[in-house]
C-alpha cells in the first residue's frame, strides 16, 4: 500500500530514512529535494534495484524516486 498524503508531508529534505520502495526495494537514503510527486535522494546504504543493471544505484549515488511508490519509511 502506498504512503498517504499525510505521511508524504512528513518527509523533509536533509533527513535520513530507511525506505521500502515498490520497484527499487529496501535501502537507506538522505533526502536532497522533494518536488511534488518526486523525491531526489542520495543512497546512504543498500542498493536501489532495477530491471536493467545500468539503472541499479548504490551507496553514494543520487536517484529520483516517485513518492507514490514508497510503501513505507522510517526516519533514522
User: What are the per-10-residue average pLDDT scores of the chain (76 residues)?
Assistant: 64 91 96 91 96 94 93 92
Domain map (residue ranges) of the chain: 5-75
CATH class belonging to 5-75: mainly beta
- pLDDT score, position 32: 94
- pLDDT score, position 10: 74
- Which secondary-structure segment (H or E) carries 21? strand 16-21
- pLDDT score, position 23: 93
- Which secondary-structure segment (H or E) carries 15? none
Amino acid at each position: 500500500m502506498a504512503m498517504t498524503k499525510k505521511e508524504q508531508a512528513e518527509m523533509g529534505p536533509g533527513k535520513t530514512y530507511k525506505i521500502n520502495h515498490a520497484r527499487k526495494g529496501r535501502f537507506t537514503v538522505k533526502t536532497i529535494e522533494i518536488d511534488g510527486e518526486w523525491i531526489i535522494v542520495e543512497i546512504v546504504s543498500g542498493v536501489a534495484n532495477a530491471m536493467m543493471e545500468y539503472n541499479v544505484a548504490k551507496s553514494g549515488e543520487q536517484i529520483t524516486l516517485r513518492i507514490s511508490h514508497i510503501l513505507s519509511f522510517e526516519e533514522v
